[in-house]
Structure 1
Amino acid sequence: METSVNSNSKTSVFSVFKTFLKLGLTSFGGPVAHLSYFRKELVERQKWVNENQYSQLLAICQFLPGPASSQVGFALGLLRAGWFGAISAFIGFTLPSVILLIAFASILPYLSGEMGIAAIHGLKLVTCAVVADAVWGMFNKLCPDITRRLLTLAVMCMLLFVDSTWSQMFAVFVGALMGIWLCKQPEVETENTINVHYSKKFGLMLFTIFTVLLLMFMLVGGHDGLFTIAQIFYNAGALVFGGGHVVLPLLQDSVVGTGLVGNEQFIAGYGASQAIPGPMFAFAAYLGALIPVEQGPFLGVFVALIFIFLPGFLLVGAALPLWQAVSHRRTAANAIAGVNAAVVGILAAVFYDPILTSAISSLFDVAVAGIGFIMLMYFKRSPLLVVFWCIAMSMLSSYFY
């Protein structure tokens, strides 16, 4: 029987920050890979939550707009060390990517040589190994019967043939319905529930703040400076499903189309955001530094960063106590079982396209990524070691061939 481990008293705020700072420095590969890193570090190693609790967090964040991996990290920090833990998780996970993204953009021209291209290719191989490990582990844990395995396969096939912004959201919704119908589960045991330290009333207040801000930014116009930055990035964070790869084109319309940022500057930062660890939503900090405001670029960075993440975090905070109130019911358990199977199918589809299709170009790549997978799955090595392995092998191959 799994033990509940999400006690606020067990981990200090600084410990949460330190853990997520490490993740922020090493979590390459985008949101799907981030969720894999979180599971490896916080479920398997540190046991902050058990597999069932983690799968519930995944399901909740898949239903909400915003950056799913950052929302899961925020929720993990919240469950582990309260609101300060949630904030420290956000800062720890995001700060490295903010610093690296701005620095990376300045050195991007120097990474156009063979060694730079090989290093970036190595990071893609890291993503293959990490996501393969996560998909396999979650498949075994979350899909123990033929019904859920078939649901996972159906979702994976659907997403491989239907390329749409809303397809993942639709898959999660269908997974919930199929779970209620087909995945008959016992009521959620007490040790598997997600326990938050605040009431549904406070959650409703958070949702009210989210709604008021969204209406204000959608209806009020004609302002300049910091208000414009807050408006652009809050709307992007509140209305986008699918994470960083979807929000970047939306931001391009908002900042390039309005002349706030040049197209060449945007493309340079867009390229950099594909190679950094941590959340792709940190791209907002890069754009905030470029948008001219009287108060200076530092405040532009701060406002852009806070307002693109804020709506997703408000929604997570609002959803958790509501989920706590219904999660013990058998219908909710059935729905989550179906959603978990759908999420595994989503991860499997993303693992194939675009991760495998963009990273694997030779048998050598297969061997390097395969050894990285074995290091994670069977020898339980640190993902950081896999990062060094894949980059070194990629650069070595480029040097000789």
Structure 2
Amino acid sequence: MNQKVSFKSLMEILFISTRLGFTSFGGPVAHLGYFHEEYIRRRKWLDEKTYSDLVALCQFLPGPASSQVGMGIGILRGGILGGILAFIGFTLPSVIALILFALLLQGVGIGESGWIHGLKIVAVAVVAHAILGMASKLTPDIKRKTIALLALVATLLWQTAFIQVGVILISALIGFLLYKQHKDENASFTRVPISKTIAVVSLLIFFGLLIILPIIREMTSLNWIALFDSFYRSGSLVFGGGHVVLPLLEREFVPTGWLSEEEFLAGYGAAQAVPGPLFTFAAYLGAVISGWKGGLLATFAIFLPAFLLIVGTLPFWNSLRQNAKVKGALMGVNAAVVGILIAAFYHPIFTSSILEPTDFAFAALLFSMLVYWKLPPWIVVITGAIGGWLLSLL
């Protein structure tokens, strides 16, 4: 529990997560693919089962699931400091870019740039690769393939965050009923370098802030308290990732006059153009409202709930996933995650990226570079950006 983590290991976490922060385009589903490629396939920091269980756990928690997976990997590798460094590395590139957009490029239309379209096509290749890898591991039998299919159909036909949460909960129940007697010969135990005491304190802080911040906001007229409360609450109450937080943030800030509808939409376009988590859209909003300090405060506030929750749940994770009934529920959730990933792959990733036969041909080339030629993801990203720009000239 108290095993010391070397400075070299911490710097490795920071370096790799920062590189992912510069190259992980395509949204939360694509991020899981990038993480899988870098942390599991290449570096083998976790085994496949531990990774899939971590993804399932983060799907249960509110907040940005892919960012929580990244934090969780950092924590398992280097303790709380490792989790903080993994978060900083993965998030800071897009935070800096979006604060600069807010300060320098408000209202500039960038959504139709060719290189951005190329990065969307990269996301198609990355997510397709991730789905193939995860499906082979998480849906090996007909029952789990059926759960994945039903999850796919439900999330495509009814595209709301509530449906996604409902699908996960129902799949957990189905998995519990079908697999509660399942014997797992590959059961694994993962050392979590955080005490249960720290976990409980973290959960108490999470719920305490959720209750206390609105009260302090009403008692004071401090703008930064109001800003912190709005972003913290948005980060605490969102299931389903970055796209789902946008309506919440819009309701928090546009009707109240913090910023205009045009400024909000300009920032949304900028957020699509940068790598890393879509929750960093908060950095843009904070910077428009209150300069670069507001951008940093907003980023801290919206991600803080995710960090408190992952620190609060990981120490109890081993005992839960060794329980046969909980394992059955996790098997159901993991299968549902595959269906949800395929649904997200179709819409919005495929439908917003593959507009012409040339786009599909280019996606096939990028997929081959990643899967068959085993080129590093950053080369695929750069190729995608240059190729998208060249396609726009045709």
TM-score, with normalisation over the residues of structure 1?
0.92
> Partner of 1:271 in structure 2?
269
> Partner of 2:125 in structure 1?
129
Indicate conservation of the 8 Å contact 2:99/2:292, yes or no.
no
Indicate conservation of the 8 Å contact 1:10/1:80, yes or no.
no
Q: Tell me how far 1:11 sits from its aligned partner.
A: 6.0
Indicate conservation of the 8 Å contact 2:21/2:93, yes or no.
yes
Indicate conservation of the 8 Å contact 2:114/2:388, yes or no.
yes
- The 5 A counterparts of 1:1-400 are 12-105=9-102, 106-107=104-105, 112=110, 117-183=113-179, 185-187=182-184, 189=186, 192-222=188-218, 223-292=221-290, 297-400=291-394
**Alignment deviations for residues 109-164 of structure 1 (CA, whole Å, 9 cap, x no partner):** 66659xx6211111110110000000011001111111111111111011111111
Q: Distance in 1 between matches of 2:250 and 2:240?
A: 16
Indicate conservation of the 8 Å contact 1:8/1:79, yes or no.
no
Q: Tell me how far 1:311 sits from its aligned partner.
A: 0.7
Q: Distance in 1 between matches of 2:8 and 2:134?
A: 25
Indicate conservation of the 8 Å contact 1:142/1:340, yes or no.
yes
Q: Tell me how far 1:287 sits from its aligned partner.
A: 1.5
Q: Distance in 2 between matches of 1:230 and 1:200?
A: 28
2:355 aligns to what SS in structure 1?
coil
Q: Distance in 2 between matches of 1:24 and 1:343?
A: 23
Unaligned segments of structure 2, at least 5 residues: none
Q: Distance in 1 between matches of 2:4 and 2:139?
A: 27
For the aligned residues, what is the CA RMSD?
2.0
Indicate conservation of the 8 Å contact 1:186/1:333, yes or no.
no
Number of equivalent positions = 388
Indicate conservation of the 8 Å contact 1:188/1:328, yes or no.
no
Unaligned segments of structure 1, at least 5 residues: 1-5
Sequence identity percentage = 46
Indicate conservation of the 8 Å contact 1:139/1:344, yes or no.
yes
Q: Tell me how far 1:182 sits from its aligned partner.
A: 1.8
Indicate conservation of the 8 Å contact 2:108/2:266, yes or no.
no
1:221 aligns to what SS in structure 2?
helix
Change (3 A) 1:247 1:239: same
Name the aligned partner's letter for residue 195 of structure 1: R
Q: Distance in 2 between matches of 1:65 and 1:246?
A: 11
Q: Distance in 1 between matches of 2:315 and 2:355?
A: 46
